[in-house]
Amino acid sequence: MIKDLSRNGLRNCIDRIVSFFSKQPRDREALIEILRNSEGRNLLDPDALAMIEGALHVSDIQVRDIMIPRVQMIVIKNNSEPKNILPIVLESGHSRFPVIGNDADEVLGILLAKDFLNYFADDKQGKFNIKDLMRSAVFVPESKRLNVLLREFRSSRNHMAIVVDEYSCVSGLVTIEDVIEEIVGNIQDEHDIEEEEHIIPYGHHRYTVSAMTPINEFNDYFKISLSDAEYDTIGGLILNAFGHVPNRGELLEFEGFNVKILRADKRRIYLMRMTRLEQPSVPLDDIA
């Protein structure tokens, strides 16, 4: 009797498994629903589910949706001297920079930070010519789908592309990291702040600030008195001040600080650069 019950129980279990996995999803939404059910049954890790969903959605996203806008691009003029380029490379923390001619529509190439720094390591330094260091630029239309762009990045081994509009004018840039973050979420690199370090000084009156910094800690550090009645973290206050979830690179003047979003996704802010104002009228462009 017990043996029969065990056999029946095993048969029922097998039937349920076969029935679950034999369902053919009608469309992408049905497939995602199956995956979410799998996560609810602990058959799929939540992080894995998020990545699978991200991978499925990149074909719906165009370059224009994630690009860094032209006005927020950090560029280098082709006639710049090394002494003027070095601060840009060191302060930005970026590894690649568009090299422009007369304006941002004239992108001549891409300068890699490692190529530029190798110039200083060469004992046989001659007359500096940025053309000898920069690499060819890749141009992509705003309408290109991210799954196609990622495939092209992988095959060409390029990590940055200049985005152009229908009139061939530069509208921004996009990196392979931007595309990957749409799949796996925010990626921290060596320039990001450690979890236990909420505030790090960066240059003259500049600070890298984690959005998770408690307001009372922020107040103690800067000797100010922001209210913590409605929010616990500085990120909550900044999000409320924006009135929407900001994109990377968006700017805001807030309580005596110029704020630039360094890292964010569609749901939250992660990291900010905050510049304390010495004069009330410091323009936002000064920190872009």
Q: Report the alpha-carbon distance of residue 224 to residue 218 in Å, rounded.
A: 8
Note whether 64-184 and 199-287 share their fold.
no
Residues 6+ apart with CB under 8 A from 158: 138, 152, 176
Can you give the length of the chain in residues?
Answer: 288
Cβ-count burial of 18 within 10 angstroms (0-12 exposed, 13-18 middle, 19+ buried)?
exposed
Q: What's the pLDDT tens digit per position in 63-76?
A: 988 888 888 888 99
The pLDDT of residue 282 is above 50: no
Return mean pLDDT, the chain: 79
CATH topology of domain 199-287: 3.30.465
Q: Report the alpha-carbon distance of residue 57 to residue 3 in Å, rounded.
A: 48
Q: What's the pLDDT tens digit per position in 265-276?
A: 767 788 888 988
Task: Name the range with the highest mean pLDDT among 38-47, 115-124, 204-213.
Answer: 204-213
Say what the pLDDT of residue 190 is: 45
Say what the pLDDT of residue 3 is: 43
Q: Bigger pLDDT: 52 or 107?
A: 107
Q: Report the alpha-carbon distance of residue 118 to residue 128 in Å, rounded.
A: 12
The pLDDT of residue 107 is above 90: yes
Residue 206 near residue 275, CB atoms below 8 Å: yes
Domain spanning 64-184 has what CATH number? 3.10.580.10
Q: Could you tell me the residue ranges of all domains in the chain?
A: 27-60, 64-184, 199-287
